[in-house]
A and B are shown apart, each in its own frame.
Chain A
Amino acid sequence: MTADTRPVLSARGLAKSFGAVVAAADVTIEVPAGQKLCLIGSNGAGKTTFVNMVTGYLKPDSGAIELDGEAITGLAPRAIARKGICRSFQIPQLCIELTAEENMLVAIAAAEPHGLSFWSDPAAGGRDARARELLDRFGLLAMADRPVSEMPGGMRKLLDIAMALARRPRLLLLDEPTSGVSAEEKFPAMDRVMEAVSGQASTIVFVEHDMDIVRGYADRVIAFYSGRVISDGTPDHVLSDAEVKRYVSGGAA
């Protein structure tokens, strides 16, 4: 394979069991550059297990994961983050006593090779401008100086995603970016996320339960059931699949 066609993420034959529960069985997924891939499946189907293996939280029992052709299987989350895979969380993982801007500065300092200075101001060296630019992209600039503990849930969700962008990741993983957002606000919220993310990260894997969102924003969909990939293809193809209808979308709707 040449460098041009090589996938950004390549996961081959991933398996993971927790006792008798099979969370992943021979999961093989390749994500080419620029793709917006959506993972669907009911609770316990293996979406989060896949995300956790790719980000290093779980070590696969077998199989190999590569980022841009480089093996990352079994590395710690921080090592994988440094290589360029960043994630947001279903439940925002923030420092709630710090302000929105301080949270961004933490993410930016972590992303710089020598960002953890003993003396210099965390906002120095253009870091404050970058923090404010990212906050602005998500419409959070007015909240910059407010502690996260005073921010509503929807804004925390956006801040969580903004922090994952500090590194301009090669691969961005969004775990249910619109969960906790009311049905009528899901499309505006997703619009905002996709617009804010564009230019900062182009290859995106997201987990989503709302089939309208899946149809509207994904280039490709992969459906999980019981630790296996049961369908993989365009949104129209996957969402009209009989098995997917039975196990994933049909049951939920």
Chain B
Amino acid sequence: MSRLALVLGAAGIMAVLLLVGLALPRWLLFLVTLAASHGIVSVGILVIMRGGLVSFGQGLVFAIGGYAAALSFTQLGITDVIVLILIGTLAATLVGAAVGPLLARYTGIFFGMLTLALSMVAYGVLIKSPAVGGSDGFNIPRGTLFGVRLEGAAGDYALYALAIVLTGLAATAVALHTRSARGLMTRAIHGNGLRVEYLGTSVQSVMAINFTIAAALGGLGGALTIVALGHIEPTFAYWTQSGEFVFVAILAGSQSVTAVFIASLALELVRSFSNLYFPNTWQLALGLFLLAIILFLPAGIGSLWAGRRKAPATGAETQA
């Protein structure tokens, strides 16, 4: 697929989703908004995963983006959602740039465990911080967009449109990045990091930058989530939240950015309906769903159309 075709395709999908949104019921609009906001965090995991590492701690940057945006609203009185989202994204990017070089010194399970540890430290600090609501977190009123308060059905649609446009633009940028020289180098690191070093490239530097990109996407997702949800709490940084992001990334496979959003929407739908019909066993449904994907689509949903390479080997190693 050429770059132009990719950009036009992405613009087309975004336009269709914006039109479809006009006809969707409000509950579904909200569900898709959350799916897009969470999906972009998993796109970040995909950026890291293509280099052969998995972060089990994206809840950290998700929470930092969310708290930075929420606190800017309640403490600084900034109500414009675009400004809030920019602040959340920037805060998470800075944290990613600070811890990325440290994390990139590690590989395999050590990298995964360190990311998990960092996110759980953040969780621990947040539940012990009454200033930000402790374990209950706090609520954020609906923000404004270009001076207009986002209320009612129109407000819901505006947030939906914002989520589609911002995550769509970010995802398109990532899709272009994965097709760049740096994206190819990331795949080469997964294939043979030793050789990459002998060719003169620092594996640590490439992976640190990939982690920072993932952090930016995590912050964007966190900030989008809180402006739509109107609430934030320490569970944003909890390991089950990070696990959901990894779950979606594995469901999607590492070949397609679009597949991540489909996987994210599938997760939100399974969660909603399971919650409704069998609230006490919904995790069981989720587990069976993942099992079916691993058995029948080992390289993820994306392998249905992005299957140039048969990916069992790639998929299996990435998941390991």
Binding site for B on A (CB under 8 A): 55, 76-78, 81-82, 86-87, 89, 93-98, 102-103, 105-107, 109-111, 115-122, 127, 147, 149, 163, 166-167
Are the CB atoms of B184 and A109 closer together than 8 Å?
yes
Q: Which of B184, B187, B314 has the most chain A CB atoms closer than 10 A to its own CB?
A: B184
Chain B positions 120 through 137: 1 when the CB is less than 8 Å from some CB of chain A, otherwise 0: 000000000000000000
Given contacts A94-B191, A94-B192, contact A116 B181 (CB under 8 A): yes
A252 vs B266: C-alpha distance in the bound complex, in angstroms?
A: 64
Are the CB atoms of A102 and B192 closer together than 8 Å?
no
List 4 other contacts, CB 8 Å, given A97-B191, A98-B191. A87-B198, A106-B188, A116-B201, A167-B199
Binding site for A on B (CB under 8 A): 3, 176-177, 179-185, 187-188, 190-192, 194-202, 206, 309, 313-314
Given contacts A96-B191, A97-B191, A121-B3, contact A81 B199 (CB under 8 A): yes
Q: Which of B180, B185, B194, B195 has the most chain A CB atoms closer than 10 A to its own CB?
A: B195
Chain B contacts for A109, CB-based, 8 A = 181, 184-185
Are the CB atoms of B3 and A93 closer together than 8 Å?
no
Q: Which residue of B lies closest to A93 (CB)?
A: B195
Chain B contacts for A105, CB-based, 8 A = 181, 184
Q: Which residue of B lies closest to A167 (CB)?
A: B200
Are the CB atoms of A93 and B177 closer together than 8 Å?
no
Are the CB atoms of B192 and A95 closer together than 8 Å?
yes
A118 vs B173: C-alpha distance in the bound complex, in angstroms?
A: 10
A96 vs B280: C-alpha distance in the bound complex, in angstroms?
A: 46
Chain B contacts for A149, CB-based, 8 A = 313
Chain A contacts for B184, CB-based, 8 A = 98, 102, 105-106, 109, 122
A108 vs B259: C-alpha distance in the bound complex, in angstroms?
A: 31
Chain B contacts for A107, CB-based, 8 A = 199
Are the CB atoms of A116 and B185 closer together than 8 Å?
yes
Are the CB atoms of A116 and B197 closer together than 8 Å?
no
A81 vs B187: C-alpha distance in the bound complex, in angstroms?
A: 20
Are the CB atoms of B197 and A77 closer together than 8 Å?
yes
Given contacts A116-B206, A117-B182, A118-B182, contact A95 B195 (CB under 8 A): yes
Are the CB atoms of B182 and A86 closer together than 8 Å?
no
Chain A contacts for B314, CB-based, 8 A = 97
A105 vs B3: C-alpha distance in the bound complex, in angstroms?
A: 18
Chain A contacts for B191, CB-based, 8 A = 94-98
Chain A contacts for B195, CB-based, 8 A = 89, 93-95, 163
Are the CB atoms of A147 and B309 closer together than 8 Å?
yes
Chain A contacts for B3, CB-based, 8 A = 121
Q: Which residue of A lies closest to B189 (CB)?
A: A95
A86 vs B199: C-alpha distance in the bound complex, in angstroms?
A: 7
Q: Which residue of B lies closest to A87 (CB)?
A: B198
Given contacts A95-B187, A111-B199, A166-B199, contact A117 B194 (CB under 8 A): no
A167 vs B200: C-alpha distance in the bound complex, in angstroms?
A: 9
Chain B contacts for A147, CB-based, 8 A = 309
Are the CB atoms of A95 and B180 closer together than 8 Å?
no
Chosen A-B contacts, 17 in total, with CB atoms closer than 8 Å, are A77-B198, A78-B197, A93-B195, A96-B191, A102-B187, A102-B188, A110-B199, A115-B181, A116-B185, A116-B201, A117-B181, A119-B177, A119-B180, A121-B179, A121-B181, A122-B181, A163-B195
Contact partner, A93, options B182, B185, B194, B202, Cβ 8 Å:
B194
Are the CB atoms of A110 and B200 closer together than 8 Å?
yes
Closest Cβ of chain B to A124, distance in Å, is 8
Chain A contacts for B183, CB-based, 8 A = 122
A94 vs B177: C-alpha distance in the bound complex, in angstroms?
A: 22
A93 vs B195: C-alpha distance in the bound complex, in angstroms?
A: 6
Chain A contacts for B199, CB-based, 8 A = 78, 81, 86, 106-107, 110-111, 163, 166-167
Chain B contacts for A76, CB-based, 8 A = 197
Please name the 10 residue pairs, one residue from A and one from B, whose CB atoms are nearest each other, closest first: A95-B191, A81-B200, A110-B199, A93-B195, A122-B181, A106-B188, A109-B181, A110-B201, A122-B184, A82-B200
Are the CB atoms of B198 and A98 closer together than 8 Å?
no
Q: Which residue of B lies closest to A92 (CB)?
A: B195
A122 vs B180: C-alpha distance in the bound complex, in angstroms?
A: 5
Closest Cβ of chain A to B161, distance in Å, is 26
Closest Cβ of chain A to B215, distance in Å, is 16
Closest Cβ of chain B to A32, distance in Å, is 24
Are the CB atoms of B177 and A118 closer together than 8 Å?
yes
A93 vs B197: C-alpha distance in the bound complex, in angstroms?
A: 11
Q: Which of A102, A105, A111, A119 has the most chain B CB atoms closer than 10 A to its own CB?
A: A119
A93 vs B201: C-alpha distance in the bound complex, in angstroms?
A: 15
Given contacts A94-B192, A98-B187, contact A121 B180 (CB under 8 A): yes
Contact partner, B200, options A78, A97, A119, Cβ 8 Å:
A78
A147 vs B183: C-alpha distance in the bound complex, in angstroms?
A: 17
Chain A contacts for B201, CB-based, 8 A = 78, 110, 116
Are the CB atoms of B182 and A116 closer together than 8 Å?
yes
Closest Cβ of chain A to B132, distance in Å, is 35
Closest Cβ of chain A to B58, distance in Å, is 21
A196 vs B314: C-alpha distance in the bound complex, in angstroms?
A: 32
Q: Which of A55, A78, A96 has the most chain B CB atoms closer than 10 A to its own CB?
A: A78
A172 vs B199: C-alpha distance in the bound complex, in angstroms?
A: 12
A77 vs B168: C-alpha distance in the bound complex, in angstroms?
A: 40
